[in-house]
């Protein structure tokens, strides 16, 4: 089916293109993330380019692309090169061994059919770094104010990024954390769609959040069901980060509208030496209803037992209230909060 659709699009002058995502790594290995899609030819007139720029601010514009399943690409970085195939959604997710990389921003090359090359950014951190920040997006740094089932569609197809609101104080909290730990990795882990990556990047930049790699998900059915499991995606992402940054102890930031508290507690239970602290944004009753249909906080999974001995946890309704609590437990001068009773 996809082959027939792509053949029609190629007849209409759609061409393979690389959508770059921010990758990450250390001085000896990196993870390169991108997607291969068919897109319309670039507009040739100034009027067309202006219209394209305007339309790109609309979320639905991010979905005007067709994936190229199993596309063959070559990924290059600083003398290292590997030939890989994209997955059935056109996604490229590959790790490269490197030597002599310095911390900072680097550019990998993704080469597609016809020799066309696209630069893909890679954030490289010291292999000796011991501090890192993992953050959720929806309801943690972005205030959605929409029923959870409608968030992705509304944000992706209707709202411009100027129409989204940042959660008060969260950007300041992240800036303060990084001012005390310069050079630490920042990774955003969310169940949002990869199609909104550029959209979210602009939002984070506009509101003063630190730039960081995003680990998002793809829309549509999988081999095991009609929808992807958000908790499973976050579990896998945390495991991968623990492997990719073996010396980092993470500050995990999320909200209590879905499963972040339980997932973070589970990760801290399985790998207690990899979690420095957990910070949970408490949603209002209205936000709880929009998140999962009830005014009460979701109960953690039965097999997850939270304990401050595993990782200190703090809770507050926004970043300005979270920061003094988080700083106190990181400095060893404060007591963790007790999670609410479901």
**How far is 106 from 228, CA to CA, in rounded Å?**
31
The angle subtended at Cα 277 by Cα 275 and Cα 280, nearest 5°, is 120
The whole-number pLDDT of residue 44 equals: 45
**How far is 316 from 329, CA to CA, in rounded Å?**
14
The whole-number pLDDT of residue 14 equals: 76
Give me the DSSP letters along 81-92: EEEEE--TTSEE
**How far is 103 from 125, CA to CA, in rounded Å?**
5
The whole-number pLDDT of residue 159 equals: 52
**Cβ density class 245-267: b for 16+ within 10 Å, e for less:** beebbbbbbbbbbbbbbbbbbbb
Pairing of the two strands 66-67 and 29-39: antiparallel
Quote the distance between the C-alpha of residue 305 and its chain's center.
Answer: 26
Phi, psi of 77 (to 5 degrees): -160, 120
Tell me whether residue 328 is exposed, middle or buried, using C-beta atoms within 10 angstroms of its C-beta: 0 to 12, 13 to 18, 19 or more. middle
Q: Is 303 helix (H, G, I), strand (E, B) or coil?
A: coil
Please report the domains of the chain, with CATH numbers, ordered by start residue: 2-125 (2.60.40.10), 131-331 (3.40.50.1000)
Per-residue pLDDT of the chain (342 residues; tens, 9 = 90+): 556 655 565 555 578 889 999 999 999 999 999 999 887 776 544 444 444 454 444 444 455 568 899 999 999 998 889 999 999 889 999 999 988 889 999 999 999 987 889 999 999 999 999 999 999 998 899 986 555 555 555 555 555 555 678 999 999 999 999 999 999 999 999 988 888 888 889 899 999 999 999 999 876 544 434 445 678 999 999 999 999 999 999 999 999 887 899 999 999 999 999 999 999 999 876 665 555 445 555 555 544 554 556 799 999 999 999 999 999 999 988 788 876 665
Of 270, 276, 215, 281, nearest to 251 by C-alpha is 276
- Contact present, 298 and 258 (Cβ < 8 Å): yes
**How far is 267 from 277, CA to CA, in rounded Å?**
11
Q: How many CB atoms lie within 10 A of CB 167?
A: 23
Write the CB contacts of 213 (distance below 8 Å, at least 6 apart in sequence): 21, 22, 23, 24, 31, 33, 123, 185, 186, 187, 188
The whole-number pLDDT of residue 310 equals: 72
**How far is 192 from 216, CA to CA, in rounded Å?**
6
**How far is 116 from 96, CA to CA, in rounded Å?**
20
Provide the H-helix boundaries in the chain: 2-11, 46-55, 148-157, 170-180, 197-206, 230-244, 260-270, 285-292, 319-331
Pairing of the two strands 249-255 and 131-135: parallel
The whole-number pLDDT of residue 163 equals: 60
Q: Which residues pair with 332 in a beta bridge?
A: none
Q: Please report, for residues 97, 105, 160, 216, 303, the alpha-carbon distance to residue 26 in angstroms, rounded to integers and kept in the order given.
A: 10, 11, 34, 20, 34
The whole-number pLDDT of residue 55 equals: 42
Q: Please report, for residues 9, 235, 240, 265, the alpha-carbon distance to residue 197 in angstroms, rounded to integers and kept in the order given.
A: 24, 20, 20, 27
């Amino acid at each position: 089916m996809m082959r027939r659709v792509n053949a029609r699009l190629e007849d209409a002058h759609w061409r393979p293109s690389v959508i770059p995502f921010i990758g990450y790594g250390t001085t000896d290995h990196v993870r390169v993330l991108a997607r291969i899609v068919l897109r319309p030819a670039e507009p040739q007139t100034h009027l067309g380019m202006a219209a394209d720029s305007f339309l790109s601010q609309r979320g639905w514009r991010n979905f005007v692309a067709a994936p190229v399943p199993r596309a063959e690409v070559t990924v290059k970085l600083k003398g290292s090169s590997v030939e890989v195939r994209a997955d059935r959604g056109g996604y490229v997710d590959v790790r490269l061994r490197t030597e002599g990389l310095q911390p900072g921003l680097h550019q990998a090359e993704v080469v597609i059919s016809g020799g066309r090359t696209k630069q893909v950014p890679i954030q490289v951190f010291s292999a000796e770094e011991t501090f890192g920040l993992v953050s959720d997006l929806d309801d943690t740094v972005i205030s959605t104010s929409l029923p959870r089932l409608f968030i992705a569609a509304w944000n992706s197809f209707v709202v411009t990024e100027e129409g989204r609101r940042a959660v008060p104080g969260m950007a300041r909290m992240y800036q303060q954390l990084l001012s005390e730990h310069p050079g630490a990795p920042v990774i955003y882990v969310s169940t949002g769609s990869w199609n909104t990556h550029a959209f979210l990047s602009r939002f984070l930049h506009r509101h003063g959040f630190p730039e960081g790699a995003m680990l998002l998900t793809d829309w549509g059915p999988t081999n095991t069901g009609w929808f992807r499991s958000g908790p499973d995606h976050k579990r896998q992402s945390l495991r991968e980060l623990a492997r990719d940054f073996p010396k980092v102890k993470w500050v995990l930031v999320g909200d209590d509208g879905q499963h972040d508290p339980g997932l973070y507690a589970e990760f801290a239970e399985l790998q207690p030496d990899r979690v420095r602290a957990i910070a949970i944004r408490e949603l209002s009753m209205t936000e709880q209803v929009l998140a999962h249909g009830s005014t009460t906080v979701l109960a953690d999974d039965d097999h997850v037992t939270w304990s401050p001995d595993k990782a200190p946890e703090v809770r507050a309704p926004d970043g300005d209230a979270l920061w003094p609590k988080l700083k106190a437990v990181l400095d060893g001068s404060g007591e963790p909060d007790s999670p609410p009773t479901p």
